[in-house]
C-alpha cells in the first residue's frame, strides 16, 4: 500500500538514477532485476513472459522473506 512509510533500500536511489542495479541487499537486488524485466522488457519477449509467469506462480517470493 503506497500510503505507508517504508525505508528505502540502500542503493535504490542510485539504481533509479543510474539505470544500473546497485541495491545492496542481494535478495532484494535479484527481486528488483526480475521485476524490472517484467515492467520494462519488450511486451512479447519470451524471457519477459517467463519471468512474469514466475511472479504469478510465486517463484520470486522467497527473495522478499529473507
In this predicted structure, what is the pLDDT of residue 48?
97
In this predicted structure, what is the pLDDT of residue 61?
96
In this predicted structure, what is the pLDDT of residue 66?
57
How many degrees, rounded to 5, is the angle at CA 55 between CA 51 and CA 61?
125
pTM: 0.86
Mean pLDDT of each 10-residue bin along the chain, 66 residues long: 85 97 97 97 96 97 86
In this predicted structure, what is the pLDDT of residue 6?
85
In this predicted structure, what is the pLDDT of residue 1?
62
Amino acid at each position: 500500500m503506497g500510503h505507508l512509510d517504508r525505508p528505502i533500500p540502500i542503493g535504490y536511489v542510485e539504481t533509479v538514477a543510474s539505470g544500473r542495479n546497485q541495491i545492496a541487499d542481494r535478495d532484494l537486488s535479484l527481486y528488483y532485476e526480475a521485476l524490472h524485466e517484467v515492467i520494462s522488457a519488450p511486451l512479447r519477449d519470451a524471457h519477459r513472459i517467463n519471468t512474469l509467469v514466475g511472479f504469478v506462480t510465486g517463484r520470486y517470493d522467497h527473495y522478499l522473506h529473507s
